[in-house]
Amino acid sequence: MRSCLLLCGLAVCLVTQAPPTPAVAPPTDDVAAFASTIDRLIASTQKEKEAVAAPLADDHEFCRRVYLDIAGRIPRVSEVRAFVSDKHTDKRRKLVDKLLDGANYVTHFTNTWRSLLVPQNNNQQLQFGGSQIDGWVRRHVQNNTPYDKMVRELLTTQISFNNGMDQVMSRNTGALAFFQANEYKAEDIAAATSRIFLGVKIECAQCHDHPFANWKRKQFWEYAAFFGGIKTGDRESGGGVRDDPTVHEIFMANKDTLIQAKFLDGTEPKFDDPKDKSKKAFARAVLADWMTKKSNPLFAKAAANRMWEHFLGIGLVDPVDDMRDENPPSHPELLDRMGKAFADHDFDLKFLIRAITASKTYQRSAVQSHKSQDDLRLFARMPLKGLTAEQIFESLATATGYKGEATGRDFRAINFGNDTSARGEIITRFNNPVDRKTEWQTSILQALALMNGKFVSDATSLERSETLAAVIDMPKLTTRQRLDTLYLAALGRPMRSSEAAKLTSYVESGGPSRDSKKALADVFWVLLNSSEFILNH
């Protein structure tokens, strides 16, 4: 019966009319000033391309969006109502500050960075590594460690153990999981660090000169040589991993050629102590010095571009890890300025988050109001973004009042195919990372997990749903008010007039069962299965 309700046209979709434009506080500080710079440079390109910018999102749309982007979940009904009723002109900035100080921000960005450093999939070793690196990432997110210092610590974590996994775990600092996930292979570590921290894909040059960029095979191995001291032992030597930090050379694969370390910009590193030539520097520390210095534009711009993609759905350079001359940014001056501002503010990720979310560019409606908004790289409207598996579970738990497992929990590796918990069911089904947030994937199994899965079925049943019980038991509420509360719980907004006309009569008539309480449960189920719930907009 519920599937019939979904198919009969009561499923919720984004409508085409634009919301009213709210007031926005004027610039008063560094964050707001840089937000204005963002808007000016974006508007300049829009004018050049004759694009018409969408109006600003209303308070309901902004509140849901920023909760998903910063806290990794939708807002609770009380949180939506408190924000919408706030009359202060700077309430959007204040909400961002509040979310950045919350535990959900720490969990969401721990998930974000961990999935980048150690992608989660069916590989048991990667699952194990993800659970190990989680604590290390969480500590840095919690402390708002400057990005350059976090990366430096990762790069310079010394691997020094000899006999198997027990030794690894007893001395694991968390960052070691990154090297473990890359199998302690210099070439794999080189490819991962250049892609993640510099936005450069050099792995195509590992076996031959890059066909679509200027990277040469020799350059790849010169960079990999910084990790040449990491060696995995064979059975005869007792296995394990050895790390000689002074080594800065490597044999090129399939060639008897010894390659010396060199930076990607072609400059020569200095490994000798000028006062004592017998002393050798830690090779990866020399690399970290070069990589994270403020004058290295690749490092700062790569991080800024990732933050832009996180909040706007698509990078200024797209894909975010393919920064090369043949793939220029959509807004070169903006990317340059973002990188410089990030470095000038001592690589403070929260500064970037505050500036991006304070911009009108971020705050535009996702509702298309002009044909020119088809080109997402003009950022004339907010693109629709697919949710991660963690966002889907946390949002379902928030909407339904689910108490079976604590939300905002620490990372727990999923045993794919065998985890029967509510979280495991959702994470397993929706763990399909894509290259672009604006190109989400769906499947029959995902739809079935929401339509017929035990988690959603229980959460929308009259006997088990905390949200439904609260709505039904509220005295003196009209049908419209009960429905508005369900909409706020699931979609972060009240019903629109067109929706109210259909749903109010449906609930009051009791639907097919002639039971108004069951009809309310049907509506809640439809909202949780709607495209509007499963997307960030």
Listing DSSP states for 228-284 in one string gives: TTEEE--TTTTSSEEE-TT--EEEPTTS--EEE---TTSPPP--B-SS-TT-B--HH
Q: What is the count of structural domains for the chain? A: 1
Q: Which of 177, 69, 75 is nearest to 411 (CA)?
A: 177
End-to-end alpha carbon distance in the chain: 29
Length of the chain equals: 537
In a domain, 102, yes or no: yes
The pLDDT, as a whole number, for residue 499 is 95
In a domain, 95, yes or no: yes
> CA 383, CA 359: separation in Å to the nearest integer?
15
The pLDDT, as a whole number, for residue 172 is 46
Boundaries of domain holding 70 = 30-106+322-384
> CA 361, CA 334: separation in Å to the nearest integer?
12
Answer whether 199's CB lies under 8 Å from 180's CB.
no
In a domain, 399, yes or no: no
> CA 381, CA 14: separation in Å to the nearest integer?
14
In a domain, 83, yes or no: yes
> CA 372, CA 102: separation in Å to the nearest integer?
38
> CA 376, CA 314: separation in Å to the nearest integer?
8
> CA 537, CA 528: separation in Å to the nearest integer?
15
In a domain, 298, yes or no: no
The pLDDT, as a whole number, for residue 275 is 61
Cα dihedral: 156, 159, 160, 165 (round 10): 160
Predicted structure pTM score: 0.90
> CA 196, CA 191: separation in Å to the nearest integer?
9
> CA 1, CA 72: separation in Å to the nearest integer?
32
Burial class (CB in 10 A: 0-12, 13-18, 19+), 264: buried
The pLDDT, as a whole number, for residue 509 is 95
> CA 323, CA 264: separation in Å to the nearest integer?
13
In a domain, 223, yes or no: no
In a domain, 351, yes or no: yes
> CA 361, CA 36: separation in Å to the nearest integer?
9
> CA 261, CA 474: separation in Å to the nearest integer?
69
The pLDDT, as a whole number, for residue 304 is 98
- 251, β-bridge pairs: 258
In a domain, 356, yes or no: yes
The pLDDT, as a whole number, for residue 457 is 81
Q: Which two tokens stand for residue 56?
A: 């600003």
Answer whether 178's CB lies under 8 Å from 133's CB.
yes
Mean pLDDT (10-residue bins), the chain, 537 residues: 50 50 56 97 98 98 98 98 97 98 97 87 52 87 97 89 43 75 92 96 73 78 94 64 88 85 92 67 94 96 98 96 92 98 97 98 97 97 94 94 59 46 77 72 71 78 88 90 97 96 95 93 94 94
